[in-house]
Amino acid sequence: MSTTRQIHLASRPQGWPTAENFRLVEVEVPELADGQVLVRNTAMSVDPYMRGRMNDVRSYTPPFQLDRPLEGGAVGEVIASRSADRAVGDTVVHGLGWRAEAVVDAAATRVVDTSLAPADVYLGALGMTGLTAYAGLTAVAAMQPGDTVFISGAAGAVGSLAGQIAKQRGAARVVGSAGSPAKVAHLLGLGFDAAFDYHDGSVAEQLAVAAPEGIDVYFDNVGGEHLEAAIGALRRGGRVALCGAISQYNSTEAPVGPRTLVQAIGKELTLRGFLVGSYQHLAGEYATTMAGWLATGAVRFDQTTVHGLENAPAAFLGLLRGENTGKMIVSLD
């Protein structure tokens, strides 16, 4: 019987996770049951939501189990199949990342076309990440042409796409915030009209300079001070897509605020949380639209790639610290 490598959850973090919370383990590859395929993963995704799954709390996804492999988006090649629906050689996306090889129910895989885009793009721009940006902006925040749009976490995977989609959809002005001068420059290069580094001072003050007339839509990846400032800057009838709150994921203290929330009444604001999984009905429309934008160069998609399964924990920790521009991918080739 052959063996394969996996990353297991060794312990649960308190506050910021560390390398000690993960363990690289060699295990035997189980026999395939009827309807299953063996996938050699070529790339896996690390995502902020995985931080929540490291905690032993009930959420919209179950917690990772101690001494068991972590899970998450992955893409790879079918190398053995006991399913009539999947052939050896198919490239498939599935949910069992954090391992070199995965035994997956064929029904839980989706075949992707690598003649249209490299396989790992289906973990980002043509996958869950891109759909999050598109659904959040168009369906959740109901962005309209002429809107002024503010996006936090703007140099990240979801944020950088959300900003570019807003421009394609006729936003009058798109403002982004990110965590370094290099990322600010990068956003301006992507076509954002203004951008600022949230370390440079108050978010509210910097947003007031970047969008002096106020904003109509806020795409929130960060929560905390960003959300508070955006509520203050929103114009009457403004809309917020509550996508993520990464400023709070490693916090050991209860967050405060947003202290500006009372303004939602007078300005008749809508603040709406969402999960990308509830917007799968837009996946087809999104894939066609984004493939077109990528093909013409209207939208650019950046990746930060870390190589090797053994470096997946470092990639994840780096993502939480902001070491990525665009999508953080772990290449397993």
Ligand X SMILES: NC(=O)c1ccc[n+]([C@@H]2O[C@H](COP(=O)([O-])OP(=O)(O)OC[C@H]3O[C@@H](n4cnc5c(N)ncnc54)[C@H](OP(=O)(O)O)[C@@H]3O)[C@@H](O)[C@H]2O)c1
Give the binding site for ligand X (CB under 6 A). Answer: 47-49, 129, 132, 153, 155-159, 178-180, 183, 198, 221-222, 243-244, 246-247, 274-276, 319-320, 322, 324, 328
Q: For residue 167, which of 186, 142, 193 has the smallest C-alpha distance?
A: 193
Output the smallest distance, CB 9 to ligand X, in A.
19
Output the smallest distance, CB 159 to ligand X, in A.
5
Q: For residue 46, which of 268, 327, 297 has the smallest C-alpha distance?
A: 327
Output the smallest distance, CB 198 to ligand X, in A.
6
Output the smallest distance, CB 79 to ligand X, in A.
28
Nearer to ligand X, 78 or 329 (CB): 329
Q: How far apart are CA 290 and CA 285, in angstroms?
A: 9
Output the smallest distance, CB 274 to ligand X, in A.
6
Q: For residue 242, which of 255, 231, 256 has the smallest C-alpha distance?
A: 231
* Structural tokens at position 261: 């929330």
In DSSP terms, which residues pair with 149 in a beta bridge? 174, 217
Give CA angle at 273 (271, 275), nearest 5°. Answer: 155
Nearer to ligand X, 119 or 125 (CB): 125
Nearer to ligand X, 125 or 246 (CB): 246
* Structural tokens at position 22: 């993960």
Nearer to ligand X, 37 or 203 (CB): 203
Output the smallest distance, CB 5 to ligand X, in A.
24
Nearer to ligand X, 106 or 243 (CB): 243
Q: How far apart are CA 243 and CA 97, in angstroms?
A: 23
Give CA angle at 259 (255, 263), nearest 5°. Answer: 140
Output the smallest distance, CB 16 to ligand X, in A.
10
Query: What residues contact 190, with CB distance under 8 A and at least 6 apart?
Result: 160, 163, 164, 300
Output the smallest distance, CB 324 to ligand X, in A.
5
Nearer to ligand X, 3 or 202 (CB): 202
Q: For residue 246, which of 150, 159, 182, 330 has the smallest C-alpha distance?
A: 159
3-state SS class at 96: strand
3-state SS class at 303: strand
The radius of gyration of the chain's CA atoms, rounded to the nearest angstrom, is 20
C-alpha distance across the termini of the chain, in Å = 22
Nearer to ligand X, 77 or 323 (CB): 323
Nearer to ligand X, 105 or 197 (CB): 197
Task: Map 158-195 to HEC letters.
Answer: HHHHHHHHHHHCCCCEEEEEECCHHHHHHHHHHCCCEE
Nearer to ligand X, 163 or 238 (CB): 163
Output the smallest distance, CB 39 to ligand X, in A.
22
